[in-house]
Amino acid sequence: MRRRVAEARAAAAEGQEPALAPLVAEALGVPATDPRVAALVDELDGFGPLAGWVRAPGVTDVLVDGSGAVWTDGAEGLLRRPQRLDPHAAQALAVRLVHRAGRRLDAAVPLADARVDGVRVHAVLPPVSGDGTLLSLRIPAARTPSLAELAAGWPDGDLWGEALEALVRDRASVLVSGATGTGKTTLLAAALGCVPGDERILTVEDTAEAAPEHPHVVALQCRAANAEGAGAVGLAELICHALRMRPDRLVVGECRGAEVADFLTALNTGHQGAWGTLHANGAADVPARLTAMGSLAGWGPDTVAAQARAGVDAVVHLVRDRHGRHPVELAVPDPDARGFALLPALTWTPGPGPGDGSTAEGPGLRALAARLAGRGSR
């Protein structure tokens, strides 16, 4: 059976329909609609005992900790489930999923990031993970929400939605910051859906996640080294190649190292309207994060500040709180600062009650309007 599954995968790689269910049904001698068929397909080639949670409505993350406990995150928050995976099953599932994506996970390479059927898979094996295998599955939405749909669930959503749509329309180069799980990639994809259909979008990501509703998107993703340690393709190299592929909009899924130098260089060589994401505690912390990442490329603080001040038009900071995932800060470069400092343009502040809060305009709003004057879609 496993040989036939491998053959079906090879057929899929050649663009043919793999049709695993009929193969399994034939082997079991039952109709393809028999529940045992779907269960065995999941076990052989899918998400195994986690398949039900991966398909469950409203679930955004499925997590397995070192003890084998299963947790889910989503509309109801982080919940522990009664299911538990034994250590061997958890490790076997993690290795199979990563291998299916063409990546390596073993004692020599105990950490891996991969994408399987649109689901982002992150796995860590012992001893790095401690006592057991750690598995994190990030489930994409069935469809990418539009910016208007996304903003409908935010506090002061109309105001924030209009501001973000204007950034896209006026070809602003934007950094989206926030902690893990605040919705940076979701916002990125929704905003890119506002890009005119006659423009070409190039996305560069470690693992392809952003899927904007747009007719012309070209996606590039990193590749890990092979067993001999060769063949790795990183973000910095992909950014350089993306710039040779006639992008109207360059998108870098997550700046986290030396590749920020290539991204900032692109912003200052005529590639307006680019977007990128990075981790930061707040908009005011983004300059320090850029300085730290730029140092990995050999850039000094003054060089990073000069490039960021000239190339970055706005920073949007996201949080996850009792109101959900939403923007709380829109900041822009301070035109009067010597280095790269940010002025608040819009700031959302929570109130004392569950539904309380308000958005205030800041001096950065006028600075942003002056900076983007005369721009617009081509």
In order along the chain (378 residues), what is the average pLDDT of each group of 10 residues?
54 47 67 67 76 90 96 90 93 93 90 89 94 93 88 95 96 96 93 96 87 92 79 89 94 90 91 94 96 96 96 96 94 94 96 84 94 71
Helix (H) or strand (E) segment spanning residue 74: strand 69-74
pTM of the model: 0.80
Give CA–CA dist 265/172, Å, rounded: 15
Q: What is the DSSP letter of 77?
A: -
* The dihedral sign for the CA sequence 276, 279, 283, 288: negative
Which domains are present in the chain? 2-138 (3.30.450.380), 147-372 (3.40.50.300)
Would you give the distance in Å from CA 68 to the centre of its chain?
A: 26
Judging by beta carbons within 10 Å of its beta carbon (0-12, 13-18, 19+), is residue 85 exposed, middle or buried? buried
Question: Cis bond leading into 127, ω under 30°?
Answer: yes
Give me the pLDDT at residue 100, please: 87
Do 40 and 47 touch, CB atoms closer than 8 A?
no
Give me the pLDDT at residue 144, please: 85
Burial code (b: 16+ CB inside 10 Å, e: under 16) for 57-66 equals: eebbbbbbbb
| Residue in 212, 215, 220, 257 with CA at minimum distance from that of residue 241 | 220
Structure tokens that stand for 298 in this block: 């050999």
For residue 137, give the 3-state DSSP assignment.
strand
| Residue in 63, 69, 72, 96 with CA at minimum distance from that of residue 85 | 69
Helical residues (DSSP H) of the chain, grouped into ranges? 2-13, 20-28, 35-45, 51-55, 87-100, 147-151, 157-169, 184-192, 235-242, 259-267, 286-295, 301-311, 364-372
